[in-house]
Amino acid sequence: MKRVILKKGVHTKIVRGNPWIYDNEISKVLGEINPGDVVDIYDSSNSFIGRGYINPNSKIRVRILTRKEEEINRDFFRERIIRAWEYRKKVVDTSSCRVVFAESDFLPGLIVDKFEDILVIQTLTLGIDRFKEIIVEVLDEIFNPRGIYERNDVPVREIEGLPQIKGPIKGDFDPKVIINENEVKILVDIEDGQKTGYFLDQRENRRALKGLVDGAEVLDVFCYTGSFSLHALKYGAKRVLAVDSSKIALELAKENAKLNGFLDKIEFVEENAFHLLKNFHKEGRSFDVVILDPPAFAKSQRNLDNALRGYKEINLRAMKIIKDGGFLITCSCSQHVTLEIFQKVIESASYDANKILRLVEFRYQAKDHPILFSYPESLYLKCGIYQVLKKL
Ligand code: SAH
C-alpha cells in the first residue's frame, strides 16, 4: 500500500479543488515508492482525500488524479477524455482545438491538441507518461484520427526523469497541416513548430482584432507564423509589418500569407523586437495598431524582476509609436506574471510613456484552455486591448 500523509492544514486546499501537493506539505510517505507511482493521499487525521501520482524528483510531489477510490485505468482515462471533448464541443470550433489541457481537465501533465484530423500529444510528467500507451489507444478509439504525433521534446520532462522525444505514434502523414481559424487558413508545422506546433490559445484574442484594424497600419511583434497579422488583414488592415527573431517562423508566416492571398499587404522583418521597437521610436515610425505577443519572459519565479522589466520596456516603446487613438493589444503568457502584476506593469509603462490608456477589453486564453478558480495557475494568458491616447 502506497500512501502519502499530508501535514495538518494542507487538506483544505486539496478539498477545495487544488491538484498539487508540494514536497513540504507531506508529513509521511508509507510503502515502497517508485517515481511515477500512483499513491493514495490521506490527510493528517488519516482520512482518504484522493489518489494521484508521485515524483520525488519534482517539487510538485503529488498531482491528484481523482478524489474517489477508483482504479486509474483505461476506463478512467476514457471517461476523462470524453468529458474534456464534450466540453470543447459546447464552447469552441472543434475542427482544431485543445482537447485536453492537463490539470484543467483533471488529467495532470497531459496535453492533447487537435489539428483537423491529426492529434498531437505531450505527456509532461513521469506519472502521466506511464499511461501513455493507454491514453493513445483511448484517443485513437474516440477520435479515430488520421495520425497521432508525440511532441515530447520539452525540457521539463528532464526534471521528471524523462527523455526528450518526438515523432509519429500512429499513421504516416505529412506533419504540415492546414487548419482553419476564424476563416483564416493556417499552415501548422506539428513536427518543428513551437510547443505542439501552433498557439491555439490566442484564437479568440485574434478574433478580437475585428473592428479595431479596419484600414489600419498594423505592427505585429513576436508574430511567429503570422496568425495575428493574417487576422488583421482579414479584418481590413491596410498593411501589416510582422516581426519575429526566428527565421523558420517567418518562413512559415510567408507561406501563410500566400495561402490567404495577402502577400502584397504584408512585410516580414527578422529582428530582435527590443531593438526594432527602440529604433522605430528613434526614426519616428508610427502605427495605428501594435500587437505584442512575446514568449513567456518569466520562466520561473526567480527571474520575475527581469521579466517585468522586459514587459515594461516593450509596452512602453509600443505605446510611444502608436498614433493618438490607436490600439495596443498586449499579451503575457507567463504563468508567474499574475493578472494584477501584468496590469500594473502596463499602467506603469503608460505613465512613463505619458499616455492615457482606455481599456477596450481584457481577455484570457481561449475557452479550450479552461481556467479553474481552485487552481489559479491555470490562468496563464493575459491579453489587454487598450486605446492609447495623448493626455488632453
Ligand atoms: N503571436 C504568435 C505567437 C508568438 S510566440 C501567434 O499568434 O501565433 C513568441 C514568438 O516570439 C516566437 O515566434 C519567437 O520566435 C519570438 N521571439 C522570441 N524572442 C524574441 C525577440 N527578442 N524578438 C523577436 N521575436 C522574438
Tens-digit pLDDT string for the chain (392 aa): 799 999 999 999 999 999 999 999 999 999 999 999 999 999 999 999 999 999 999 999 999 999 999 999 999 999 999 999 999 999 999 999 999 999 999 999 999 999 999 999 999 999 999 999 999 999 999 999 999 999 999 999 999 999 999 999 999 999 999 999 999 999 999 999 999 999 999 999 999 999 999 999 999 999 999 999 999 999 999 999 999 999 999 999 999 999 999 999 999 999 999 999 999 999 999 999 999 999 999 888 889 999 999 999 999 999 999 999 999 999 999 999 999 999 999 999 999 999 999 999 999 999 999 999 999 999 999 999 999 999 98
The rounded Å distance from CA 55 to ligand 1 centre is 32
Residue whose CA lies nearest to ligand 1 atom number 15: 246
CA-angle at 228, arms to 88 and 286, nearest 5°:
150
| Residue owning grid cell 509603462 | 349
- Ligand 1 pocket member 189 (CB < 6 A): no
CA-angle at 338, arms to 337 and 341, nearest 5°:
80
Instruction: Fill in the amino acid letter for 51.
Output: R
Order across the sheet with 20-22: list the strands: 20-22, 60-66, 48-54, 38-42, 3-6, 26-30
- At residue 106, the pLDDT reads 98
Residue to probe by mutation, ligand 1, list 184, 218, 245, most atoms within 8 Å of CB: 245
Q: Evaluate whether 90 touches 73 at the Cβ level (below 8 Å).
A: no
Distance CA 190, CA 336 (A): 27
- Ligand 1 pocket member 268 (CB < 6 A): no
- Ligand 1 pocket member 244 (CB < 6 A): yes
Instruction: Fill in the amino acid letter for 11.
Output: H
Structure-block grid coordinates of residue 334: 507567463
The rounded Å distance from CA 197 to ligand 1 centre is 13
Structure-block grid coordinates of residue 108: 495532470
- Ligand 1 pocket member 332 (CB < 6 A): no
- Ligand 1 pocket member 57 (CB < 6 A): no
Phi, psi (rounded to 5 degrees) for 25? -105, 0
Distance CA 269, CA 44 (A): 58
- At residue 270, the pLDDT reads 98
Q: pTM score, two decimals?
A: 0.97
- Ligand 1 pocket member 333 (CB < 6 A): no
- At residue 383, the pLDDT reads 98
The rounded Å distance from CA 298 to ligand 1 centre is 14
Residues contacting residue 90 through CB under 8 Å, at least 6 positions apart: none
Q: Which atom of ligand 1 is nearest to the CA of 246?
A: 15
Three state DSSP letters for the chain:
CCEEEECCCCHHHHHCCCCEEEHHHEEEEECCCCCCCEEEEECCCCCEEEEEEECCCCCEEEEEEECCCCCCCHHHHHHHHHHHHHHHHHHCCCCEEEEEEHHHHCCCCEEEEEECCEEEEEECCHHHHCCHHHHHHHHHHHHCCCEEEEEECCCHHHHCCCCCEEEEEECCCCCEEEEEECCEEEEEECCCCCCCCCCHHHHHHHHCCCCCCCCCEEEEECCCCCHHHHHHHHCCCCEEEEEECCHHHHHHHHHHHHHCCCHHHEEEEECCHHHHHHHHHHHCCCEEEEEECCCCCCCCHHHHHHHHHHHHHHHHHHHHCEEEEEEEEEEECCCCCCHHHHHHHHHHHHHHCCEEEEEEEEECCCCCCCCECCEHHHCCCEEEEEEEEECC
Q: Which atom of ligand 1 is nearest to the CA of 223?
A: 1
Instruction: Fill in the amino acid letter for 271.
Output: E
Q: Which atom of ligand 1 is nearest to the CA of 293?
A: 1
242 forms beta bridges with 220, 268
- Ligand 1 pocket member 273 (CB < 6 A): yes
Residue whose CA lies nearest to ligand 1 atom number 1: 223
The rounded Å distance from CA 148 to ligand 1 centre is 26
Instruction: Fill in the amino acid letter for 86.
Output: E
The rounded Å distance from CA 324 to ligand 1 centre is 26
- Ligand 1 pocket member 297 (CB < 6 A): no
- At residue 200, the pLDDT reads 98
Beta strand pairing status for 147-152 and 165-170? antiparallel
- At residue 300, the pLDDT reads 84
Please choose, from the candidates 239, 218, 189, the residue with its C-alpha nearest in 3D space to the C-alpha of residue 292: 218
The rounded Å distance from CA 222 to ligand 1 centre is 3
The dihedral built from the CA positions of residue 255, 260, 261 and 263, taken in this order, carries a sign that is: negative
333 noted as active-site residue: yes
The rounded Å distance from CA 207 to ligand 1 centre is 19
Identified catalytic residue from 97, 223, 333, 383: 333
What interhelical angle do 304-320 and 273-283 show, nearest 10? Answer: 30
Residues contacting residue 165 through CB under 8 Å, at least 6 positions apart: 150, 152, 153
Q: Evaluate whether 231 touches 262 at the Cβ level (below 8 Å).
A: no
- Ligand 1 pocket member 228 (CB < 6 A): yes
- At residue 298, the pLDDT reads 87
Distance CA 222, CA 362 (A): 20
The rounded Å distance from CA 199 to ligand 1 centre is 11
Residue to probe by mutation, ligand 1, list 199, 205, 224, most atoms within 8 Å of CB: 224
- At residue 282, the pLDDT reads 97
